[in-house]
Structure 1
């Protein structure tokens, strides 16, 4: 990748067609780079090549490299490629629209230079969860039982990992990429019984609520997250993971209904919306009406019998509930729970 030397830490930024946001992120990061730290930007075949956008910004730097994929391999695969080709002991995968805070690299280096062999990852505090204490999680069971926020762990930019410990789990990460939590699964599988993850009180990145027009689909997330139950875990681990996902990172049902109604009205495909809602309901609750949320999911399904009639009612309710924020479609926004 034409870098001066492997060093200790790779900062990898997977990106596609967000050149302006990427340029701001890189500009904030460059002054923090120091000996032993390399920046690798993986351009997932953006329409405007990232190298052209960043040319003036990174000219003459031997610690920065832009790698362009021949074709768009998908966001999840591009993230895992960052791990696959990492040549350093430690890896920080940074979102192209997340802003590294001043001193972020120095904070990471202090932690990894002091790390013993048992430390596999450090998860830092961010806006998704107001962490109140440092925790050390040992092994997969403890990780699932005592992690304070799966949302915070799912945010790529909040975690630094020991790449050689995760690479043997890449096969599983690629196999279960459709779950949308493959990077978290790789970390989970790498822990075994004694590997540790530290939940830090420090902050290294500022997370911004995404532009919904350019962000990933919450409908896709709702369909995908439940497939985490297929991960090769013990039944106890599977039960803990699914309970944590339901409590912490499952998209809100009313927000999903609002997004799907908007899509159905735009496309005119009410039948497709009904099929998607049934899939969401069955994947999340197994078709069983055993909880208030399951009953709510069943009741909201009737909205899709006549989307053009029911959507105005749902939008009026959203405006009543959310006021001025309704225009941002906050109910479908991952700000609260993802």
Structure 2
């Protein structure tokens, strides 16, 4: 069981995983506090429960994914009690299923489960790749009528990059290679590293700062420079990481994700510091408050979220090197495309569509 000495015990990991299982719905979905389920955060919660050994609960969640996937490979952006509350299919939601299934294989070694989930992964990543533009970014959603949105998101595409890489690894492992996904990942990785103009401006969000590193598209000197450039903008010493630059609000999930991004670059010291700093958000029952408004000195929102608890467990595993899946985010950067001069790569700087 993961444990970070002096910060997070194995017993606390179990309690935190059980706080996730406690909110899992009878049909297997793991909801946000307000009650909707989305595939991305749902998968993250399943990964955390797998790390903590709650395999039956995680399997129930993967069954939910298999049952609720639509014929085009997507999931509704929000589902409430098994029904679509927001029907558009988001590309990063679909791609993260591949990360979850690859992580499960690393941790459990369950080949039968991997093969059973492979058709789900295939459909999901085919949905994702179909939203790639001529330049390489991937549009963030498609409507039920088939209409793609008008833009791509940097954080979403960074997560998609990891999903495509995990899908390629799954295909190779199962003897069903998908070079089209590998090519899509290469193209996407280049755009993430060299073409910020390809994405809608969400730079006030800390996720747009660290996610290209966490997802694996940016590593090495470029990653270190990126982290240092906005460190003081987003990091509140002793508290954690701001969700947005213009509000005095630190959030647990973003703090843990930054810790994993730092760990992926080899910056273990700052990773441990950020992880320790966010532990003030721990609730006595093992769950975690979503965020802390440090001017008003109040929890904001006034809730504990399963996805925050999941991020804590995944960060603890990465920092303790406990399970065979602990290097999931470090390994995401194995195939990162070196950054080239965007002025000489030949890519159009204009907006492109599918």
Q: TM-score, normalised by structure 1?
A: 0.29
Q: TM-score, normalised by structure 2?
A: 0.28
